Amino acid sequence: MSERYCVFGHPIGHSRSPRIHALFAEQCGQAMTYEAIEAPREDFAGAWHTFVAAGGLGANVTVPFKEEAYRVADVLSQRARRAGAVNTLVHGRDGRTYADTTDGVGLVRDLEAHGVTLDDARILVLGAGGAVRGVLDPLLAAGPRSLHIANRTAEKAVSLAADFHLQERGQQQACVKGSGYDALEDAYDVVINGTSASLSGELPPLPETLLAADGVAYDMMYAADPTVFLQWASARGVRTIDGLGMLVEQAAESFFLWRHVRPDTEPVRNMLRREL
C-alpha cells in the first residue's frame, strides 16, 4: 500500500512540492503519495493530527504554518530549535511528532552544487524575517569569514545577529553582524536576498560596490524571469542564482528524513526549470 505524505499551507494551490516529491518517488522507486492540503489558518494542529489519524506519515509545512508546526512537535532537531520554525514533520513509530527544518541545508547544498565556496567567504544576507532566521545556522556551519545581516528595519537585523552570535558554534569564529542598509560594506563574496521584496518587484537600497568582482548574487525566491535583485546584480556583471535549486534541495532533505533515501536532485531541478 502506498504511504501518505503531504504539504500544508494556506493558500497551497501553487505549491510545487507535490510535483517534486512525485518525481523523487518515481526516481527512487518509493510507493508513496504526496498531496497538497490547505489547512485552516486557525487550526494547523488539528489538520496535522487528522492527517496522522488517517495514516499520514510525514508532511512539509509552508507559509503561514512554520511556527505552529514548531509548537506541534514533540521532538525538535537542534537546527529547528535555533530556527524557531520547521518545514518538515515526521510521524514516528512511537507516535510522537518529530520536526526539522531543511531550508538552510537546502540553501547551502544548492550553493555548493553551483560551485560557490562559503568557507572563508564574506557573506551578506538581506532581510531578517523568518526565512532568513531559518537558514543562518547551516550558513554559519559552512565556515564563512563573516556574516552580515542587513534589514530595512535595522533593529530586527541587530537582534537576529545577536541571537546567532551567542550560539555555541564549535571552532567557528565567524563574525556575525546586523545593521540597516546604511551600514553595508564593499565587496561581499556572496549576497543572499532573503527579503520578500522580490514578490512586490522591489529592491532594497544597495550600493554599486556591494559585490566583489567574482562575487555571487543568490535570491531565495525564483520565478520564470529573473527577480529584480538578480536583474540588478547581473547588470553589474556578477553571477546570479535563483532559489529554484534551494526548493528542490530542501525537498530532497525532507524526503531523506521520511524515506532514508537520497534522490538525485539535478534531473528534478532541470525538469522544474523547464516547467516554469
- Write b or e for each residue in 191-216: b if 16 or more Cβ atoms lie within 10 A of its Cβ, otherwise e: bbbbbebbeeeebbebeeebbbeebb
9 binds ligand ATR per the rule CB under 6 A: no
21 binds ligand ATR per the rule CB under 6 A: no
Tell me the pairing of strands 3-9 and 32-38: parallel
CA-to-CA dists, residue 39 to 68, 187, 214, 258, angstroms: 12, 44, 44, 21
**What is the number of the residue whose Cβ is closest to ligand ATR?**
129
CA-to-CA dists, residue 82 to 13, 24, 141, angstroms: 29, 28, 13
CA 31 centroid distance within chain: 27
CB of 46 to ligand ATR, least distance (A): 23
Residues acting as catalytic residues = 66
Q: Which of 131, 142, 184, 190 forms a contact with ligand ATR (CB under 6 A)? A: 131
CB of 199 to ligand ATR, least distance (A): 8
129 binds ligand ATR per the rule CB under 6 A: yes
Q: With contacts defined by CB under 6 A, name the span among 124-132, 170-178, 245-253, 258-266 that binds ligand ATR.
A: 124-132
CB of 134 to ligand ATR, least distance (A): 8
159 binds ligand ATR per the rule CB under 6 A: no
Task: Give the C-alpha separation, 191 to 45, whole Å.
Answer: 36
CB of 24 to ligand ATR, least distance (A): 25
183 binds ligand ATR per the rule CB under 6 A: no
77 binds ligand ATR per the rule CB under 6 A: no
107 binds ligand ATR per the rule CB under 6 A: no
155 binds ligand ATR per the rule CB under 6 A: no
Residue 75 has a CB neighbour count (10 Å cut-off) of 13
Cell numbers describing residue 92: 514516528
- Which lies closer to ligand ATR via its Cβ, residue 75 or residue 199? 199
Could you tell me how many residues of this chain bind ligand ATR (CB under 6 A)? Answer: 15
Site string for ligand ATR, 186-205 (x = CB under 6 A): ---------xxx----x-x-
CB of 85 to ligand ATR, least distance (A): 8
- Which lies closer to ligand ATR via its Cβ, residue 87 or residue 195? 195
H-type helices in the chain, by residue range? 17-28, 44-53, 66-72, 78-83, 103-113, 130-141, 154-165, 228-235, 244-259, 265-275
- 46-51's contacts with Cβ under 8 Å and 24+ in sequence apart are 47/8, 48/8, 48/72, 48/89, 48/97, 51/4, 51/6
CB of 151 to ligand ATR, least distance (A): 5
- In the chain, the amino acid numbered 242 is D
Cell numbers describing residue 214: 567574482
Binding site for ligand ATR (CB under 6 A): 127-132, 151-153, 156, 195-197, 202, 204
